[in-house]
Structure 1
């Protein structure tokens, strides 16, 4: 038995309680399962060259993204770089995926903008620490597997919505003008365009066009070229040589800042809690989705441990906040590059963070000269690549339910926020799924099989006085009213046999409805027999009291033939009783003959 499969408690057969020692053993096993292990580096002796090369490739891709997302968040390029270094290293060592690359992401900047606008940039490290603690708690509680319940249309709508929001956020940077006030990306972009000085915007727009063209053309010439890095370098050289008056990144620190604990009071913590909760939800969601993508791309490697991944990402966020960085998540784009570059162990992600730290110490003055328009171009291309038109079209063609979930999630993402979008998307998907299950369920009246009919008179008797109904699919809260209404129309029969063997889902509401059906039919003088109740449904049926309301405890059958024979005996008994009553009535009313 593996560590993950080990039971968490050992029952005390003597006292019916749990041994304190068993609790300690379970806690120890849980800690071991969530902690780093030597097996994390299995095969490193054979793959270290590929891991280091993959780390270099990812660092080249991550550098402009980290700078860009730092600027987009409102904290500046330095904060983005610090986040990529610190959070990337901590998540690489402590996370549950061998291939995940973590750092600042576009989705997180979307969530942080309202926080910065409302509470100021100094609140972001506090939010990162608080959110990290919540994510760690989620991992310890074993909530990592819940991501499997998020429907595919929700994930795709969420991804496309993020891409659109990221693109809208780049409008001020691409135009070289300050962003209009506001938190909604679409509204800010429209207001910024309305107030822009187009004469001053020509130079930054030209750099955006040049950078985008390079990122589109270079991969077609040679796939291995780091197009985004080349585009940023070329745009910087053009701006320097032409002495263009465009906004730059500005001065960067020549070293990583020292960790420190932000000073907060209870009032500030309370005000930031809802923001921290939203950041934690997004960090957990995006990290687990990214790890799932990596697992699908590298089928021959060990699967991600979702709970350990949450613990690692949570601690990475705490560390990032202590160093003054942004909240971080697993980055889908950088993780995909890591896998495609041949990474086999977490050394690749760790070396990516080390290389970015080298940039901080060795190249900070040069990085500070990068035009913000070049970073805007990198993020615009990144956003465009997040919008998979073929996937979106496939979802919309798959049916109205999938299209509704996808479009709802997308719209809520753009108009409101990401966490609400996932909540609404999952809720809409659940409602539509319940609706589909309810529609697939049905109540059908059917004839008895020929083999249980023995004579023509019994056939007529059966058809006249006994009704057999089959319930298919689910009998649950979403559809109980329909079953009640249909069976309420049953008349002119003396026995109803309900076939339950085709009921796949039976919840408390469904069991309650079944009890009401039995009570209603028996109140009208109709005997009810239940046939084929599945073993897994016995508990709920018994708890709700269905068996108690049956006229007789023997009215529950496993075989249809036996149930129909019992039904015929009821009809015969009633016929005999009615015949005797009729005969007695005639005798009592006949006048005796005179002697």
Structure 2
């Protein structure tokens, strides 16, 4: 005979301790578990990404105002550190177009020498965010915000290339659109023939070559072709200029308290962008490679924070995860973070072995590469899909795009999320409602035939609340229930209330109190267990009276309601 045993109690899940949470941010041996099987793929992917990253790193360095050398340093140092410490196996980090959008106002206000300081400060803020567990919040950013943000970055990057593409000094200002307009107003069009010809050549190569052979690094081939044309033709165009023959030694910038205070808001904006763009890029990588371990968001923030600190110590720019380079890494077959390390190693070799050759690259050729990159970020098909999805999605997308172009990226995400939240609350409020229901078993014929039922039907009202009862729509329920007259008992059915917040519970307490003041007894039916504590704390249960008129069954509630109909009116008021 088998003696039945009671089931073992379910194991309680306790939140991780602070030490465990911090330990989770550190590298581990399992990061390289697939390396014995994938090292050839990782080497090839790292080489491919380096070839793609070289012109982008140079271009973003120049576009930021610090020069091509700073872009290369950032790609090497931040790329290596983030590869080792980050939470994604496939992420490739370095200078990005979005970051140059944020840095240009910093350079205009405080000077290029302050950018490494901003990188160090921003890195510290991102590390703190990782320790606080903020990484998981990126999952709450709506899709239209992400796409509007990306579309806007593409527009801003394209506007930033106008001075470089025309070999014209950049006009004063912080807004990319205004700077582009002022530059066009002051340009000497006679000097723009050669740089514009190189821009056209690079764009043509980058558009046509992938259609002929997808495996060829079109951006690198285009830059090499433009450089050869400029050299052979003796074109009078601006070049990158002399690059250092190696990486600079790390050093801590010397700044005073006043400068640090002035840079804090810029560092906060850079940190927000670094965190946001890195986590979004890692999320894209996860979607492209479903069979590889998912990104650990807080560890990714930790790695990006330390990478920014390291980049600043070497005189580089703030860095983020780069969506374009990460996508190339995944498509090239990378399986571990070794691919991103190889990418940094190849760029280091280029710095040491080919600096004089790289210095001869025309700036207009780099501008053309970034123009093509920006055009690929402007996804018209996705924009059309969002706009067709409904007015709410179109509004969020349009607002995010406009704020990105007119103001700045961090504000764009904040405004976009805020607009999306307001529209979502509006939709939830619209889906909610207050409905009066007939008493069960009281059809019109029965009510007419049976005087007793008619009496009950006249003096008992059943209302069903659907959806949500929260701050966005509590006034609606107050106004509707305030019209209740000529009844002695109101039964509020709450089983369909999915959301109840403090404002909603307080409104419910006010409704009950108002009805009781007018001599109407209120019974609650179907109050969910998860809402009971809130209702009790706010005073809803106390407001229904000393008898605690809360029921789980409608028949029981109606039976109790009938007892109040047969009571004298004064007794009900006392109850």
Alignment of 1:267-416 (within 5 A): 267-416=258-407
Q: Does residue 530 in structure 1 map to residue 521 in structure 2?
A: no
Provide the residue aligned with 1:590 in structure 2: none
Contact 1:8 1:27 in 2 (8 A): no
Cα pair distance change 1:576/1:539, threshold 3 Å: closer
Provide the residue aligned with 2:563 in structure 1: 569
Q: Does residue 477 in structure 1 map to residue 467 in structure 2?
A: no
The residue matched to 2:542 in structure 1 has which SS?
helix
- Separation (CA, whole Å) in 2 of partners of 1:148 and 1:507: 23
- Separation (CA, whole Å) in 1 of partners of 2:570 and 2:416: 62
Shift of 1:32: 2.4
The residue matched to 1:472 in structure 2 has which SS?
strand
Could you tell me which of 523, 544, 563 is aligned with 1:550? 544
Alignment of 1:15-414 (within 5 A): 26-414=17-405
- Separation (CA, whole Å) in 2 of partners of 1:458 and 1:136: 72
The residue matched to 1:48 in structure 2 has which SS?
helix
| Per-residue Cα deviation, 1:174-195 (whole angstroms, up to 9, x for no partner) | 1110111001000000110111
| Per-residue Cα deviation, 1:495-537 (whole angstroms, up to 9, x for no partner) | 1100000000000000000000001111111111110000000
- Separation (CA, whole Å) in 2 of partners of 1:54 and 1:325: 25
- Separation (CA, whole Å) in 2 of partners of 1:483 and 1:576: 27
Could you tell me which of 411, 423, 438 is aligned with 2:429? 438
The residue matched to 1:40 in structure 2 has which SS?
helix
The structure having more radius of gyration, on CA atoms, is 1
The residue matched to 1:450 in structure 2 has which SS?
coil
- How many residues of Structure 1 are paired with residues of Structure 2 in the alignment? 558
- Separation (CA, whole Å) in 1 of partners of 2:238 and 2:564: 91
The residue matched to 1:370 in structure 2 has which SS?
coil
Scaled by the length of structure 1, the TM-score of the pair is: 0.92
Provide the residue aligned with 1:498 in structure 2: 492
Provide the residue aligned with 2:9 in structure 1: none
- Separation (CA, whole Å) in 1 of partners of 2:571 and 2:197: 99
Cα pair distance change 1:575/1:513, threshold 3 Å: closer
Contact 1:547 1:553 in 2 (8 A): no
The residue matched to 1:122 in structure 2 has which SS?
helix
- Separation (CA, whole Å) in 2 of partners of 1:570 and 1:8: 49
Shift of 1:101: 0.2
Gaps of 5+ in 1: 10-25, 579-595
Shift of 1:577: 8.2
Provide the residue aligned with 1:592 in structure 2: none
Gaps of 5+ in 2: 1-11
Cα pair distance change 1:27/1:475, threshold 3 Å: closer
| Per-residue Cα deviation, 1:391-421 (whole angstroms, up to 9, x for no partner) | 1101011111100000000000000000000
Cα pair distance change 1:36/1:6, threshold 3 Å: farther
Scaled by the length of structure 2, the TM-score of the pair is: 0.95
| Per-residue Cα deviation, 1:419-459 (whole angstroms, up to 9, x for no partner) | 00000000000111111101110000011222899983332
The residue matched to 1:124 in structure 2 has which SS?
helix
Contact 1:497 1:528 in 2 (8 A): yes
Shift of 1:30: 2.3
The residue matched to 1:477 in structure 2 has which SS?
coil
Cα pair distance change 1:576/1:355, threshold 3 Å: closer
Shift of 1:575: 7.7
* RMSD (CA atoms): 1.6
